[in-house]
Amino acid sequence: MTNGSEVNETLRVALYIRVSTDEQIERFGIPLQKEALLALIKSRGKLEGGKDALILAGNKGGEECIYIDEGISGTTPLDERPAFAKLKEDIILAPEGSRPFDMVVVYKIDRFARKLKILLEVVDFFEEHGIKFISVNESIDTSTPFGRAILGIIGVIAELEIETIKLRTQAGREQSIKAGNIMGRSAHYGYVRSDNGHHKIFEEEAEIIRLIFRMFLNEKKTVYQISRFLIEHNQPSPEASAAINKKRAGEIIKKQPINFWRPERVRAILQDERYIGIYYYNCSKGRKKLPKSEWKISPSRVPSIIDVFTFKQVQNLLGQLKHERVEAKDNHIYLLSGLLRCDGCYDPIRDKEGRVHWHGERKELGKGSGNFTYFYKCGRKVNGKSTIVCDTIPLPASQIEDYIVEQAKRLLRNPVAAYNHQLKLKSTRAEIKSLQKKQNDLINLINSLPGRRKRIQEQHELGFKDIDQLKEDIRNLDATDKQYQKELREIEYQISQNTLSQGYETSLNLFSEKYARMLDNIAADRKNVYDMLHELIEEIIVYSRSVEESDVVAGRKKPQQKIPYRINIKLKLPQDILRQMMSAGLSSEQKVLTGAEGGS
């Protein structure tokens, strides 16, 4: 605080001005603030003796004591603002016993600081150095007790206002997302904004998404091969496509070529649930991504680009790839790697992601002999790798592989199923467009429900509906929502069956020409056999039971030991082929010979 001897002394004033967004520049721009602050200086008049009560501090017209932070938010820490940091620096570095100015004047408190704690800390800093603080808009002068009290009250109100704005903005954003509106700078890859702000399929990008799924699922291409294919065919990346197709303002900001696709980007597309109509929000807090368990699902549906069954198959395949061990050190290919799953240690409550995979291993028959036996065992078989140890003994590789290959041969040599399936393809293709149109219409109806609920509530508030009628209308809307969702699931199922059928058309054409002959010599071309089996089979569940006295196993029998006795082969083929398989006596669930620990 200044002392009493300065009452009749001219006070030197520094101006602090801050502007942030374009809106603030229009309302509280630099010229407006500067004009108001200079007017305050003139309005204080003269002191006894004719001296000015206030003058602009500094030399050269005082410009060096006008501190301006442009494009700076009111929530930015004061010491991070270049001009304010310079203001503090001038005070701190002033010669001992002097100060560069006697007073700091601002146009409005929220131009200065929006949190009361920050505001009071700065005012304390000024007082420690004998400098007064005045806010023109609120008529606050900290040289008086009343002025400091008002400063505290207004600071509380300013802080409350900004927190209220944040809550309103967050609530408005959440409500907008629930209504199905696109948030962010541009629409997600595969979509554009519709006239009402919702997701609308952008076919040019949607075709690339479908291509990525087809290449991964049906052609068994890796994400690296797919990304290379897109680069070689000059397909614009999602970021480049958004700029090229005017989905967002501005130019392409990527440093890489416009056709540069990262494998991680391809994988992200394969895992994106938005393409099956699910729209998540509340996925991050600040810049930190939240775990998926904390994400929220919008009740509004997004038009789906990929059917749910194709998407599920892709996720299963992605999961398999995490566990695959196709080749050992000696380049041995385990044909069923990534397909076998263990039921012996499966707990549906504990194992949320499903049964654990089996993997292939080898064991040398006599040290230094160079002869090996190959087998499959559960991923929980070895102590130290899991807190749970599976008691199921391994399966001999040649035994289980020969059995599965024989089942595949019997399937592939059933030309009746393939021929009838081809006929069905021709008749169902025409239905897909009609189903997709109905699917989009249903999604639009589902997305209209929040608005319809809001209108009903407004009618009640205006007195057009009593409370009983309101409850009845809400119940009817809930029933309508359930009916819409049921019909949508049925349509998605029909579309998925047709999509799956088209995906296997190429395989069916090659059955008699390639695959059957290939299976006759699995030792010579194991990689092709591996690819074929993984194209036909979704998973093979290995069931086990307790070892009995009559069982013969390699090594010593152990307490609680389990032995594989049955498998369930789940095929990827459409249901019409599976039904004909069953009628031909080809069961997908068969018994297998008992395994032996590391045995032959």
From first to last of its 600 residues, the chain has per-residue pLDDT tens of: 344 444 578 899 999 998 876 545 456 688 888 888 988 888 888 888 788 889 999 876 678 899 988 877 777 777 778 888 889 888 988 888 889 999 999 988 776 666 666 777 788 788 888 898 888 887 777 766 766 676 667 666 666 666 666 666 666 566 666 555 656 566 889 998 877 777 888 999 999 999 999 888 877 788 888 998 999 999 998 888 888 888 765 555 556 788 889 888 999 999 998 898 887 776 677 667 778 777 777 777 788 888 887 888 888 778 766 544 444 445 688 889 888 999 988 888 778 777 888 888 888 888 888 888 899 989 887 655 567 788 898 889 998 998 888 887 776 665 445 445 444 544 555 667 777 777 877 887 887 788 788 888 888 888 888 899 889 988 988 888 888 888 888 887 777 666 555 545 544 554 445 555 656 665 567 777 887 787 778 789 999 998 887 777 666 667 788 889 888 888 765 544 444 444 444 444 444 444 434 332
Distance from CA of residue 332 to its chain's centroid? 38
What's the first-to-final CA gap in the chain, in angstroms?
94
Which residues, 6+ apart, have CB-to-CB distance to 439 below 8 Å? 303, 304, 488, 491, 492, 495
In angstroms, the CA 127 to CA 118 distance is: 14
Strands 66-70 and 11-19: parallel
SS3 state at 501: helix
- Long-range contacts of residues 27-30, Cβ cutoff 8 Å, at least 24 apart: 28/107, 28/108, 28/111, 30/68, 30/70
Single-letter amino acid code for the residue at 254: K
Partners of 596 in beta bridges: none
In angstroms, the CA 314 to CA 271 distance is: 8
Q: Residue 583: exposed, middle, or buried by beta-carbon count in 10 A (0-12, 13-18, 19+)?
A: exposed
pTM here? 0.45
The set of catalytic residues is: 20
Q: How many CB atoms lie within 10 A of CB 274?
A: 19
Q: 112: phi > 0 → left, psi -120 to 50 → alpha, else beta; which?
A: alpha
Which residues, 6+ apart, have CB-to-CB distance to 235 below 8 Å? 208, 259, 261
Cα angle for residues 294, 298, 299 (degrees, 5° grid): 130
CB-side exposure of 322: number of CA atoms within 13 Å? 10
Residue from 132, 128, 127, 123 nearest 155 by CA: 123
CB-side exposure of 203: number of CA atoms within 13 Å? 0
